[in-house]
Structure 1
């Protein structure tokens, strides 16, 4: 598997559309900061996430995010010393869903880049995430377990997931997953 550090991922990545192109350029602007680009104390920093899919049923897994007040995907911040975006997305996926068989799907390619606003909390000011998004698959969808009662998980069709989320950038991620799932069914 090729490396999944942001410099490698963004160096070869091609944005789809003007909004993503602007987000990719902002994300590329972080590259000179090295590991510091993952520092959650900065106003814009990398995060890594994934939309989990079950290819056999063409369903996707959404998670309720209390802070964002939205149904989204899994993912988050790199831990100190983590620099591989896919490893961050996999770790977060296991932590947030209990699924231990997660694997990149259909490969380890970056599927979407989005700069997303994060509201202030009692612990940190408002900031932005340069989110590097992947698709991860499970073969055991019934093994899913939320990490806490405030963060339920739901398996949905692509159409249901589009309706459930309120975030336009995440609908784009869902659409990209839907296209790949559809290709697989052909």
Structure 2
């Protein structure tokens, strides 16, 4: 199962980002193999505590579409969350996941296109990505692609929404999934 596919010779196959980042007013990077460790490394280089924001933009019945914000979390709680839900997070595109460090005013966003956007301590973020083998380049998805929402992930998606006492709010217009 893969969360982002590309059309190759008439067949949908997994789209794989190269380990590239682009630095401007924010940092943008691809997430190779849809690996939550990239998100985790960037989040945990920020000062705790953190808030997670799980944006469910394409529900398959596990919960109402909307924005689910956690209470404050420690680095260990974020790591545990990412480890527990890794199979879902790396295989399904029904969500965007944000982490915010209020102490630093810094935010890391992992979106439905398997791209990371990081705002805040850019030098630190670049250092983390460099240490993970990333290099400067174009991380944009510039192919015909599809987002996958797997029935096999429905139970884990439901468990994720039930994992915290999230504060719920409706989707904003910019959160809604556009047709591909």
Q: TM-score, normalised by structure 1?
A: 0.33
Higher helix share: 1
Per chain length, whose mean CA-contact separation is higher, i.e. which structure has more relative contact order (CA < 8 Å, sep 6+)?
2
